[in-house]
Amino acid sequence: MDDDFLLLNGLLLLGFVTCALLALVAFFAWQRPVSQGRIGPLEASLGYALCVAAVPPAVWWCVGAYLRRLQGLSGNAPSFWTHLADIGVAFIVFACLWVSWAVAFALACLAAWRFSVCARRWREGVGA
């Protein structure tokens, strides 16, 4: 039973770390064109917001699918407790998805601010 909790906690931590790393990669991917003046801060902010909004469902769907696969490999006949645990895992993954979206919204706001600063610096550098 303790191994199951360790696995669940590890997968949840892996899901949050994956979302954070993908958001960081997307930020740098959008910051480069803004700092070079190829796109504006509004376009970069919207593109980044779409990226960080699309990443969490994919990550948490993979975590949930992996947990369902592990449950199917156990070979035991489903019992009441198995179904209850499945509902609990689904609730946890759903809650993690919403937490990831909340963090993604905060990151998108910070990124929008940073993109506007990069664009202003580029305009000042070109105008000087």
Phi-psi region of 37 (alpha: psi -120 to 50; beta: other; left: phi over 0): left
3-state secondary structure of 43: helix
Nearest-10 Cα torsion for 13, 17, 23, 27? 150
pLDDT at 1 over 60: no
pLDDT in tens, 69-127: 776 655 666 666 667 777 777 788 888 888 888 888 888 888 888 888 888 888 887 76
Count Cβ atoms below 10 Å from residue 84 Cβ, excluding itself: 10
Reported as a pLDDT band with limits 50, 70 and 90, residue 55 is confident
CA distances (Å), origin 108, targets 62, 84, 111: 23, 36, 5
Reported as a pLDDT band with limits 50, 70 and 90, residue 20 is confident
pTM higher than 0.85: no
Q: Which residues contact 114 (CB under 8 A, 6 or more apart)?
A: 27, 31
Q: Which residue from 118, 128, 17 is spatially nearest to 63, judged by alpha carbons?
A: 17
3-state secondary structure of 118: helix
